[in-house]
Amino acid sequence: MTPLLSTRHPWRLHLSEAPLPAMLPRETDVVRVSVGLGMAALDAMIDSGNRVGPLLCCITHQRLLVPVESGTAHLWSAAHSVCDTGPSLQCSRQATESVCHHRFWVAPPESRAHPTTDPRILHDRLSLVRAQMRNVGRHPMGLVREACRV
């Protein structure tokens, strides 16, 4: 069984979606991304000392909702994720998608926590991690080669 949140870093969990994290600004945009891609990109951001804020994890849809600074959505253009204007914490814009039943907040350790995640670096890391995942998928031995480098 694959763990839902595979990560190299300790994260603080709040096993509920309410209340919102106290540090979260009122005005944000929200990036929606798959859990696997999102956590890998956020781990890379933490490894590099970049700004990472709290995020909402939806077990039902296996998505992360990452609050970023307001004004990001109109600049976002990516195949790997969607960024919506405003602080809406919906997993999808489609009304036909099932209701979220199990969601919880995740935040980096307090010493590394920020009110929001840096959107420019998040975009770059998501793109890089997605490209790496696609290359490994094309080359079955890619995982072995990557493991040997460590």
Q: Is residue 7 part of a domain?
A: no
| Number of independent structural domains in the chain | 1
pLDDT score for 3: 54
Collapsed DSSP state (helix, strand, coil) of residue 57: strand
Q: What average pLDDT does the segment 22-34 reach?
A: 93
Residue 144: what pLDDT?
47
16 within some domain: yes
Which range of residues forms the domain containing residue 27? 12-149
Is residue 1 in some structural domain? no
pLDDT at 30: 95
In a domain, 17, yes or no: yes
pLDDT category at 147 given cuts 50, 70, 90 is: very low
- Over the stretch 49-102, which tens digit does the pLDDT of each residue have? 999 999 999 998 999 999 999 999 998 988 889 999 987 888 877 666 678 878
Q: Token pair for residue 38?
A: 């999102």
Residues 6+ apart with CB under 8 A from 42: 7, 52, 55, 64, 66, 117, 122, 125
DSSP 75: G
Residues of the chain with pLDDT > 90, as a percent, come to: 49
pTM for the complete prediction?
0.82
Question: Any idea which residue has 């300790």 for tokens?
Answer: 10
Query: Region 39-51: what's the mean pLDDT?
Result: 93
